[in-house]
Amino acid sequence: MAGQQRFYLILGAVAVAAIGWLAVKVLGAPDLPVVAAAGTRDTTGFQGYVLGSPDAPVEIVEYADFQCPACAGFDMVQFPDVKRRLIDTGKARFVHRDYPFIPQAHPHGHLASHAAACADDQGKFWEMKDRLYRSQGQWTFQKTGGAYDIMGDQFAETGGDRGAWEECMESGRHAARIQASVEEGARLGVNGTPTFLIAGKLYPGASSDEFVRVVDSLIAAGATPAP
């Protein structure tokens, strides 16, 4: 009887170990510290990812969540036109701010923001931004580990150092900065993504034509570059 009990104990231990191994293989979920602890604040003075001339008279700030389908739609459909008509012409500069504010609906939002931040360490933010949105349908329904692997593959396509990117991800280096961006947006009244801030006014979603109209009207009214 004692031998039989010992056999079942060993069998149970093997089963538990097998289940744990299978979970790691299937879920592959690394414990990534990409969500800042409560109460942490940004102390780096980071003001967002900027595209365009510092001398542009108008600044367009986007608060966005990489897991938000509407943000992906804007980036793929409207943003190229905004870039061509406003950024490339020197009328406006564009600033991306992270706003992964609904983790219940978008559980990989912070992970994606941190993936882009780590890409930025190697000068690859805009390339990574483009890839994250275009691959959103691939990683958004994955477990954490699967999403992480896809994002790593997307970063590798930019030509950056994947090992350094993974080290950055595992360190949670930019988590506090991302959280500070979320808190900033909340203070401004951002309650959805994408939301744009232009000359102190919030625009919850906008078309490239609307951006051109607003920017042109501000320039006509004498807008000058912010100090």
17, 88, 99, 100, 178 from 148: Cα distances, Å? 24, 33, 19, 16, 17
pLDDT score at 133: 98
CATH number of 49-220: 3.40.30.10
CA distance 31 to 172: 10
Q: Please identify which residue in the block is written with the tokens 């967002």.
A: 48
Least Cα distance to 143 among 19, 32, 58, 226 occurs for 32
| 8 Å CB contact between 113 and 147 | no
Which residues contact residue 96 at a Cβ distance below 8 angstroms, ignoring those fewer than 6 apart? 48, 49, 51, 62, 64, 125, 129
Q: What is the model's pLDDT at position 11?
A: 33
pLDDT score of 22? 31
pLDDT of residue 36: 63
Taking only the tens place, the pLDDT of each residue in 191-223 is 999 999 999 999 998 899 999 999 999 999 987
Tell me what pLDDT residue 27 has: 34
**Rounded-to-integer distance, Cα 87 and Cα 49, Å:** 14
Place of tokens 């231990």: 13
pLDDT digits (tens, 9 = 90+) for 98-121: 999 888 899 999 999 999 999 999
Specify the pLDDT at position 90.
97
Cα distance from N-terminal residue to C-terminal residue, the chain = 83
pLDDT per residue over 25-82, tens digit each? 333 335 677 876 655 666 667 889 999 999 999 999 999 999 999 999 999 999 999 9
| Domain residue extents for the chain | 1-30, 49-220
In contact, 194 and 62? CB cutoff 8 Å: yes
Take residue 190 and report the two structure tokens written for it. Answer: 């951002």
Q: Report the pLDDT value the prediction gives residue 40, as an integer from 0 to 100.
A: 60
Q: What is the DSSP string of 70-88?
A: HHHHIIIIIHHHHIIIIIT
Q: Which two tokens stand for residue 109?
A: 């939002």
Q: What is the pLDDT of residues 126-182, one digit of tens each?
A: 999 999 999 999 999 999 999 999 999 999 999 999 999 999 999 999 999 999 999
Lowest mean pLDDT among 83-92, 126-135, 178-187: 178-187
